[in-house]
Amino acid sequence: MSILITGGAGFIGSATAKVCAQAGRRVTVLDNLSTGRMDRVRWGAFCLGDIRNVEAVREVLRLNGVTTVVHLAAYANVGESIAKPAEYYSNNVSGTTALLEAMLAENVRRIVFASSCSVYGNTASLRLREDHDVQPMSPYGESKMIGERMLDWYGHAYGLQAIKLRYFNVAGADPEAGLGEDVETSLRIVPRALKAALRDVPLQLFGTDFDTVDGTAVRDYVHVRDVADANLRAIEYLEGDRPNAVMNLGTGRGVSVRQIGAEVGQALGKPLQLQPHPRREGDVPYAVADAARAGELLGWRAAFSSLAEIVDSAVKHCHPPTLDPARPQPTGA
């Protein structure tokens, strides 16, 4: 089977390309390299292009005999989406619409859609299930909710087979391939903590007055290796002609921002400085998954997602590779 991974030069996309290739799938990566990197493209053919270009996507699908799409090409930061909603709706909503148009035109009827826990918004529930109401609090979360609903209607009207995976907070690095996040550009908390350590500056805590264990936001962190494995299992699920579904990918364990900072400091052998800042618009206090459905339907569980494993792999395999305690550390300003 031939798999197209949109956004395949990114953090999650490259890990997914690896597991698909190792499983014997023919992989094609489509990426416009706005945030992806060519050094991540090591498995499968690469096509430079934007998902909003319907004719270009059709050609990629046709020439590579694609049977299933894993759709990861999205902007994915809550705060940035509030500041730049037009970019998020253009890329995440218009881009998904164009991708689906190209798929239908080329009779490609299977898609694994990377959704997000951001669709849930602020909820009092301590364990989020897929049947909870979705009330996103940001353009990013709303763009994912719109994508999910589009897939529901496309399934009803056109017979599209779709798995919607609501990723919780993806982190860590694949130690076998050295695929870590870019500490200079990533807005996720673990690489931000690593960047603060590298520069010997305080880690900014956006919100210290949440109703949580230590006042900082609590999230469910899931290792990128586990997410890539779930993506492959979702492909296999669709190939079995089973019903469309939505499911959470998480561990069921909550970790606070302060706990992340402490774990990174311990891994690097020096405590991080912490600097309180006001809450960011759109941030929720608590988001932890009930991932039972993914276990039931995909046989999936988070196997590499302890906090220690996530942080240790991120420290050793971040980009640029300067934070491993076993390597010489930078000096000076």
Q: What is the DSSP string of 266-317?
A: HHHTSPPPEEEEPPPTT--SEE-B--HHHHHHH----SS--HHHHHHHHHHH
Single-letter amino acid code for the residue at 212: T
Catalytic residue at 140? yes
Q: Contact, 91 vs 144, CB < 8 A?
A: no
Q: Which two tokens stand for residue 89?
A: 């709706």
Element (H, E) at 248: strand 245-249
Instruction: Give the CA-trace dihedral at 227, 83, 203, 331, to 10 degrees.
Output: 90
DSSP state of 165: E
In 10 A of CB 24, how many CB atoms? 7
Question: Among the options 140, 167, 221, 237, which is catalytic?
Answer: 140
The verdict on whether omega for the bond into residue 328 sits within 30 degrees of 0, i.e. cis, is no
Cβ contacts of residue 205 below 8 Å, gap of 6+? 216, 257, 258, 261, 274, 275, 276, 277
What amino acid positions are annotated as catalytic residues?
140
